[in-house]
Structure 1
Amino acid sequence: MKNKTRVMILEDDIRASYTLESTINHHGKFQVVTVTETCREALDQFKLYTPELVFVDITLPDGNGLDVIRKLRTENESCHFIMTTAIRDTVVVEKAVQLGVIDYLVKPIRMSRVNQALDDYLKSIETFRNQTTVDQASIDTLLGKSPTSHSRRRTPKGIDTSTLERLRQRINELGLTEFSAEEVGQIMDFSRITARRYLEYLESEGTLKLELDYNTGGRPRRIYKMLS
């Protein structure tokens, strides 16, 4: 575990906890040192393992994950927090931001999104450790500010705007309300990987909702549902 970032997970959902632990440990630069399911257990384990990064659920059997963060903040604990929750309420998100949460992952948790959160954490830590001062551009990057250049991309790398619009039109034309990446791939003549990339983008902007179908007899099936 030498030179790896110590991570604690506070999560009472077994599936979400498994996804987090396996993804984090697979990253290579992180190591889950403890997995907890209650607020009280998390506070006790925090003192024992002193993690540098904590993934925190909000709704827990004995309280609220935000209260755990708040208590650790009042004790001046040096740690970063990432929320993992199904709650999308803007009031809750605002409270998390006010407590200094560095990321907010909405369930069902995607492994690609967990890896993105881990990579973003590493970038911010490396910036602070390797520089004594930072310029405005570096600060903007750390705070997730959009670049001011008029030439900036409207969509992320790998997402073509015209193709994205064509996908939206096909979904509307066919009246689709739920579908898999494989089905979209057939409709659009995409590979499954390409279809999933576009569907994950639509999910990230709030157009779709991802659900996992565990009634498959094997690996869960990803189903994307339109949000009204």
Structure 2
Amino acid sequence: MQHELIDVLIVEDENTLAQLNAELVSKHPRLRLVGIASSLAEARALLSNTQPQLVLLDNYLPDGKGITLINDPQIIRANCSVIFITAASDMDTCSQAIRNGAFDYILKPVSWKRLSQSLERFVQFAEQQRVWKIVDQQNVDSLYQLQAKNFRQDNGSKGIEESTLALIQKLFADEIARCFSVDEVVSETGLSKTTTRRYLEHCVEAGYLAVEMQYGKIGHPRRMYRRVAA
């Protein structure tokens, strides 16, 4: 049976992050990227033109805060859901997003695995809403569990800066088939070896990169990092 695609709009003013999120959306068989907006004004125009079912929304935008978009009449009319992906860690913003029905709230720097899980839960959530015309208590409980599923805290994100993480991820996004050693990433990014190793291991933990061991004739095997196929 062929499923309907879920249209997704990304609202993010940092181009590298927007492209990384777009790549993840585009590779999901049930999701369809319909646009990328870098400001509230662009977002409102695209909402009107594309009428998405899901918005990946940053809060800090050049012309205002993304949280104001959650009550936009176009989002309400289209029954559009929102996943916040933001550096806004203050309780006021978080509680406002929850009160206004945000499907999820993901803090930057974003774990690739965490966002993938959130998108997958939304796909299941949307499918169950489509199939179930009348619900019993078990159905309702299932929907709430999808929206409010608990995740273990990603302690590996502590001390990880979004701009540095994006720099690392962009290198692997541009060279999907290539394996990189720590020294090669240092050469490409200009980061220190200690910083590079920490960020690479964070990407492995987040499910964005995989490690392959390269065995030479002499000395210890080298850890090589490769982008995980979506």
Q: Is TM more than 0.5 here? A: yes
Match of 1:132 in 2: 133
| Residue pairs, 1:29-108, within 5 angstroms | 29-72=30-73, 76-108=77-109
What per-residue deviation string (whole Å, max 9, x for no partner) do you get for residues 171-199 of structure 1?
Answer: xxxxxxxxxxxxxxxxxxxxxxxxxxxxx
1:6 and 1:33 in contact (8 A); partners too = yes
- Distance in 2 (CA, whole Å) between partners of 1:9 and 1:207 is 23
- Distance in 2 (CA, whole Å) between partners of 1:16 and 1:8 is 14
Counterpart pick for 2:154 among 191, 203, 208: 203
2:93 aligned with 1:142, yes or no? Answer: no
Q: Output the aligned Cα RMSD.
A: 2.9
Look up the equivalent residue of 1:203 and give its one-letter code: D
2:116 aligned with 1:115, yes or no? Answer: yes
Larger RCO, structure (CA 8 Å, separation 6 or more):
2
What per-residue deviation string (whole Å, max 9, x for no partner) do you get for residues 63-113 of structure 1?
Answer: 010111212368633211110101121221110011111011111122211
Query: Structure 1: which 5+ runs fail to align?
Result: 146-154, 157-200
Query: Structure 2: which 5+ runs fail to align?
Result: 169-184, 190-195, 203-230
Q: CA 1:8–1:74 in 2, change beyond 3 Å: closer, same or farther?
A: closer
Match of 1:165 in 2: none
What per-residue deviation string (whole Å, max 9, x for no partner) do you get for residues 153-210 of structure 1?
Answer: xx98xxxxxxxxxxxxxxxxxxxxxxxxxxxxxxxxxxxxxxxxxxxx4416x98454
- Distance in 1 (CA, whole Å) between partners of 2:140 and 2:108 is 29
| Residue pairs, 1:8-47, within 5 angstroms | 8-47=9-48
1:55 and 1:83 in contact (8 A); partners too = yes
TM-score, structure 2 as length reference? 0.64
- Distance in 2 (CA, whole Å) between partners of 1:20 and 1:142 is 25
Look up the equivalent residue of 1:57 and give its one-letter code: D
Q: CA 1:13–1:127 in 2, change beyond 3 Å: closer, same or farther?
A: same
Q: CA 1:129–1:100 in 2, change beyond 3 Å: closer, same or farther?
A: same
Q: Secondary structure at the match of 1:33?
A: strand
- Distance in 2 (CA, whole Å) between partners of 1:38 and 1:74 is 16
TM superposition shift of 1:6: 1.0
1:16 and 1:109 in contact (8 A); partners too = no
Look up the equivalent residue of 1:127 and give its one-letter code: Q
TM-score, structure 1 as length reference? 0.65
Percent of paired sites with the same residue: 25
* Number of equivalences: 170
Q: CA 1:217–1:99 in 2, change beyond 3 Å: closer, same or farther?
A: farther
